[in-house]
């Protein structure tokens, strides 16, 4: 009886709603983007770089061709959420979302150029709330689509490369030249490369040092389990100190050190500058490095280690041939967290004169110039996303090779 009733019920339900919602995320993002486009400015026009601009809505700012393009792609994306999810459809959604990202960028560049023509030379066109919300919605839709399609590393790489190629093509073509962000960039072109390089140097040095210190510390903690509690207590405590406070706390002892030993000062060690920044970054990175070392190496199957011993491997052979390769996915996942965290913290290190992208952020905050803040923040975010993506791909490749 029940056996025959259930399919009947199901048929009835299907008949009542011929279009079923397969994806709840895309309609939500679509609605957010539409509301933002309707209520917020797509770009903002200000008479000079220091005052906040007047918002200009999308339909007023952008070329009708771009508006039409956005509408068509948005509708297509929405349609993918309503249609049954075949493999082709699952890949269509992220592809459409990626195209949307590029069209939103192009529309913004074109809108800025159009506004700039009609305004004075000092006027600035910056990106409005609607732009950011639409870009964010398209980005999330692309990520959601890739995840639903269970896209492999290869597809993800292709997607990222296509977006990067499209974006840099538009930059090369001068599509964004009218934007205030581009003005800020042109005014600081020389400093920008230096700051970006310094930022990367700070992160690489700090993470490198944290790995060199933290990895042996983790190995030692594994060999002597009673060390683990006090060690993690100290590292956890360090992690709870707010970053600005830690930079400040290092000011006093390091400047005292530099005064007492001029040779330190000659090496560039002092209360402010690169040295305290690196020390603070290393201290923050230690906890995740040590923790992932302990959980990665400690998580290697006891049976495998017993077999390695029984086969006659020396402790060194066991470590390099068995324990380290098997712990590698966990170690890389830890490294990912450490690098992303360090890229963010290095922004704050500019406060004590360490340089890096944070210097634009703090200059921008000081001058109340939001686009200068963005000039520092956007590359930092991109750097973090790129590092995260690369390490995630490496981890996925390793996991695939060492799959159990």
Partner 1 sequence: MIELDHVVKRYEGRPVVDDLSLTVPAGAFCVLLGPSGCGKSTTLRMMNRLVPFDAGTIRIAGDDVRVVPEEALRRRIGYAIQSIGLFPHWSVEDNIGTVPRLLNWPRVRIRDRVTELLELLRLDAEAYRHKYPHQLSGGEQQRIGVARALAADPELLLMDEPFGAVDPITRDALQSEIARIHAATKKTIVFVTHDIEEALRLASVIAILERGRLAQWGTPIDIVEHPVSQFVRDFVGGDGSGLKLLGLRRIAERMRPGETAAGDPISADASLRDALAAMTEHHTDRLPVVNTAGSRVGVITLADLVR
Residue 307 interacts with partner 1 (CB under 8 A): yes or no:
yes
Quick check: 375 and 192 in contact, CB under 8 A?
yes
Stated as kind and residue range, the H or E segment containing 172 is helix 153-172
Residue 301 interacts with partner 1 (CB under 8 A): yes or no:
yes
Return the percent helix, strand and coil in the chain, to nearest 5: 80, 5, 20
| Residue 83, SS3 per DSSP | coil
Judged by CB under 8 A, which of 314, 366, 382, 397 binds partner 1?
314
Q: Counting Cβ atoms within 10 Å, is residue 177 exposed (0-12), middle (13-18) or buried (19+)?
A: middle
Residue 332 interacts with partner 1 (CB under 8 A): yes or no:
no
Residue 322 interacts with partner 1 (CB under 8 A): yes or no:
yes
Minimum Å gap between C-beta 310 and partner 1 is: 4
* Range in contact with partner 1 (rule: CB under 8 A) among 37-45, 54-62, 283-291, 311-319: 311-319
How many residues belong to the chain? 404
Minimum Å gap between C-beta 399 and partner 1 is: 10
Stated as kind and residue range, the H or E segment containing 125 is strand 124-127
Q: Counting Cβ atoms within 10 Å, is residue 52 exposed (0-12), middle (13-18) or buried (19+)?
A: exposed
Looking only at the bridges linking them, the beta strands covering 43-46 and 124-127 are antiparallel
What lies within 8 Å, CB to CB, of 113 at 6+ separation is 175, 177, 178
- The pattern of x and - marking residues 101 through 140 that bind partner 1 according to CB under 8 A reads ----------------------------------------
For residues 207 and 322, which CB has a smaller minimum distance to partner 1 in the complex? 322
Minimum Å gap between C-beta 321 and partner 1 is: 8
* Structure tokens, 33: 């983007």
* Structure tokens, 270: 């002092």
For residues 196 and 313, which CB has a smaller minimum distance to partner 1 in the complex? 313
Minimum Å gap between C-beta 176 and partner 1 is: 47
For residues 11 and 317, which CB has a smaller minimum distance to partner 1 in the complex? 317
* Structure tokens, 379: 């590359």
Residue 229 interacts with partner 1 (CB under 8 A): yes or no:
no
Judged by CB under 8 A, which of 13, 158, 309, 367 binds partner 1?
309
> Contact positions toward partner 1, by CB under 8 A?
301-314, 317, 322, 325-326, 401-404
């Amino acid at each position: 009886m029940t056996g025959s009733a259930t399919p009947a019920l199901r048929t009835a339900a299907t008949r009542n709603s011929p279009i079923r919602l397969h994806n709840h995320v895309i309609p939500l993002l679509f609605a957010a983007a539409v509301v933002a486009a309707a209520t917020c400015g797509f770009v903002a026009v200000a008479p000079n770089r220091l005052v906040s601009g007047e918002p200009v809505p999308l339909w007023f700012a952008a070329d009708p061709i771009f508006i039409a393009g956005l509408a068509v792609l948005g509708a297509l994306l929405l349609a993918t959420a309503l249609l049954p999810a075949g493999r082709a459809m699952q890949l269509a959604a992220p592809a459409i979302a990626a195209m949307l990202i590029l069209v939103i960028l192009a529309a913004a560049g074109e809108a800025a150029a159009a506004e700039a023509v009609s305004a004075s030379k000092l006027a600035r066109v910056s990106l409005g709330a609607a732009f950011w919300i639409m870009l964010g919605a398209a980005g999330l839709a692309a990520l959601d689509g890739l995840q639903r399609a269970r896209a492999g590393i290869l597809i993800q790489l292709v997607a990222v490369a296509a977006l990067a190629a499209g974006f840099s093509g538009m930059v090369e073509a001068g599509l964004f030249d009218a934007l205030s962000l581009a003005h800020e960039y042109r005014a600081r072109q020389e400093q920008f490369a230096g700051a970006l390089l310094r930022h990367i140097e700070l992160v690489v040095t700090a993470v490198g040092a944290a790995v060199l210190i933290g990895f042996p510390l983790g190995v030692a903690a594994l060999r002597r389990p009673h060390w683990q509690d006090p060690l993690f207590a100290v590292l956890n405590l360090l992690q709870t100190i707010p970053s600005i406070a830690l930079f400040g706390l290092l000011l006093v002892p390091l400047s005292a050190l530099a005064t007492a030993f001029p040779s330190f000062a000659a090496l560039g060690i002092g209360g402010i500058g690169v040295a305290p920044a690196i020390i603070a970054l290393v201290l923050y990175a230690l906890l995740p490095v040590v923790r992932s070392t302990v959980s990665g190496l400690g998580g290697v199957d006891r049976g495998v280690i017993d077999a390695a011993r029984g086969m006659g491997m020396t402790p060194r052979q066991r470590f390099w041939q068995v324990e380290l390769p098997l712990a590698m996915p966990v170690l890389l996942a830890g490294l990912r967290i450490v690098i992303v965290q360090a890229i963010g913290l290095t922004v704050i290190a500019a406060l004590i004169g360490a340089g890096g992208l944070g210097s634009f952020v703090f200059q921008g905050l000081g001058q109340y110039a939001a686009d200068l803040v963005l000039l520092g923040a956007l590359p930092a975010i991109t750097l973090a996303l790129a590092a995260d993506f690369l390490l995630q791909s490496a981890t996925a490749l390793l996991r695939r090779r060492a799959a159990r």
